[in-house]
Each structure stands twice: as structure tokens, then as C-alpha cells.
Chains A and B, each alone.
Chain A
Amino acid sequence: MKIRKSATTSVDKIEQQMTPMIDIVFLLLIFFMFSFKIASPEGDFNIKMPVASQVTTETETPAIPIKVRLRADAAGNLAAIVMNDRDLGTDFGQLQLQIISIVGGDAGPGSAADTTECELECDYHLRYETVIEVITAISGYVEGNQIVKLIQKIRFSPPRNSR
């Protein structure tokens, strides 16, 4: 039996409508381009802040052994670091050494680094930049690629005005 070729099927080429797809694709591209923001990678300090009025029992950690007072000058820059009534000038390295001498290389749950609390007493107008520098010195340091954690419990006492 002879099969006839249909005149309409073989010759016509079915063309896909590309325009709607291109429209959507460009809309997507514009959306992603506008929502794209270049941001520098940020690091963070994870600290636990117990409240000042929290009652501690005798079996718990003893009262705050480390008290760091941060004095500011008129411009809000650091004027002095006083740790447990000892003036350390404005040297963050010295502060860190003092912290290491108290906490030592003890690490892990229940260690001195884990249980020791530090209270920061800052002047009203002290810049946040300085507060972070102090938290840096208190909370740890990097040794090679290893992070050595020092004090993780940091508490702020109400700001003071030393002027």
C-alpha cells in the first residue's frame, strides 16, 4: 500500500516563542543584579551576658573576680584600662596577659575560662570600637590556626561618667 505524504506535516517548522522566556530571564537577571550586595566578611564574638541582678548560689561560680574599668577622654577614646584597681594604661596586650595569668591554659567545660566572669565598667561616651578591642583581648587569641578561648562570660555594668 502506498502511503501518501501529507503536504502540511513535513515542510513546516514549528518555531518556539522565545520572547516570553527572554522577558522573564531578563527580569530575573535584573532582580538578582539589584539585590546583590558586596559585603565584607564579618567576624563575630560570641559572648554570654548574664544579667547583673542574677542571684548566684554558693555552689555556683564565685562573685566576679575580674573587673575591668574603661576610662574615656573627652573625645570618647580610651584613656585608661584599670583591672581590679590596677592601672594598665591603654595597652590591650597587657590586659590580655593579665587575663591569661588568671585563666591560664585551662579550657573546656567547667574550666576557669568557662566559669570566670568579667565585668566591664565603661564610661558613658566610650566608643564602641574600644569596647570591642577590650572584648578581643578578654575573649581569646589566635595561636597559629587555633583559637584559644579565654573568658566567654562578659557582663556590662551600667555606664559611668568619670568627667
Chain B
Amino acid sequence: MASSGKEGEPDMVPMLDMVFQLITFFMLVINFKSASMDLELKLPVVGSARPVDMKGSKDMLVLNINELGQLKVFGEVKEDIEGYIANEGAASRLAVRAKDRDFKDTDDLPSNVVVRADQATPFKLLNRVIKACQDNGFRNFSMKALNKKPGS
């Protein structure tokens, strides 16, 4: 039986085209901010009549609070809630002072605290986190919620 002597090489070009398209797609849709969000939380769903104000430019401190009142940051439960928030406040204060030398310790921090709490979280547990933030100079809060779809 005669053989041609040539090796049968698969054509890689279509596969590479497809793979590059997939990479481009994932690169465009990926959002590294979502790493700080605990997606297991059931956020409250409120009516369409609520104001939605998306401002992502400020320095943010994302706090995930589950229904047991535990604070989760990047998937890790922080036992010492007050201590963690105090550290974040100190870091934020240092960052602000690097830009503005007149910034005093008693001034309000410009950072935004993003509160992502489970809909079943009792208020007393939520209030503990908010109070710790207020004690450390945070004044701007963003309470996260999902939008109820019209007609649902």
C-alpha cells in the first residue's frame, strides 16, 4: 500500500479564531468588582419607584452582611466587625490625607460604604455595622437592593 509520506495536520485556524473570540467576550464582560460581592445574599427587592443612582467613581468599602449579622469581605467572615471597620477607616483617612493635607481626623470621610445586607437581616445586627462605620467617620452610605421588574 502506497503512502503519501505527508503528515495529516489538523487545521487549527478556525479553532483559534473561536478561542480568541471567546477570550475577547469574557474579557469584556468580566467585572472584578463582583469579587467583593457575596452573591449568596438575598438582597431586598423593591419597587420600580425607587431612585437608582449609580456612581462608581468614589472609593468604596463593600460590606456584605448575612442574615446572621456576620460581616463577609471577599468571602471571609470578619469576627471583629468594629476592628475591621476601624482599620478600613484608618486606611481611608491616610489615603485622603495624602491628597489633602488639611484633612483632620474629625472630618467626615469621603468614602462610600456599600451595604449589601440580606433581606432577612434583623435591624439590630445591621445597626451594629452602621454604627461602627459612623464611629469611624463614614457618612456616605449606599444601601444595595435589586429592582423589582415592572409587572412582577
Contact = CB atoms under 8 A, between A and B. Distances in A.
Interface of A: 18, 22, 25-26, 28-29, 32-33, 35-37, 39-51, 72, 76, 122-129, 131-133, 135-136, 139-142, 147-149, 156, 158-159
Given A37-B39, A76-B120, A45 B51 contact: yes
Given A45-B142, A147-B53, 14 more contacts: A22-B16, A29-B23, A35-B30, A35-B32, A36-B26, A41-B147, A42-B43, A44-B143, A44-B145, A45-B51, A45-B143, A127-B123, A128-B118, A147-B52
Shortest Cβ-Cβ A-B pairs, 6 listed: A32-B26, A43-B52, A129-B119, A44-B142, A140-B51, A129-B44
A159 B16 CA distance: 60
Interface stretch (B74-82, B95-103, B124-132): B124-132
Given A33-B26, A127-B122, A136-B47, A46 B55 contact: yes
**Interface size bucket, B side?**
35 or more
B140 A46 contact: yes
Contact of B139 (A18, A48, A76): A48
Interface in B93-152: 112, 114, 116-124, 126-127, 130, 134-135, 139-147
A49 B112 CA distance: 11
Q: What DSSP secondary structure best describes chain A's contact surface?
A: mixed
Contacts of B142: 44-47
17 contacts: A25-B16, A25-B19, A28-B23, A36-B29, A37-B31, A39-B34, A40-B146, A43-B50, A43-B52, A50-B139, A76-B120, A122-B123, A124-B123, A128-B123, A129-B120, A140-B50, A156-B127
Contacts of B119: 127-129, 132
A64 to B, nearest CB: 16
Contact of A124 (B35, B122, B143): B122
B121 A127 contact: yes
A100 B86 CA distance: 37
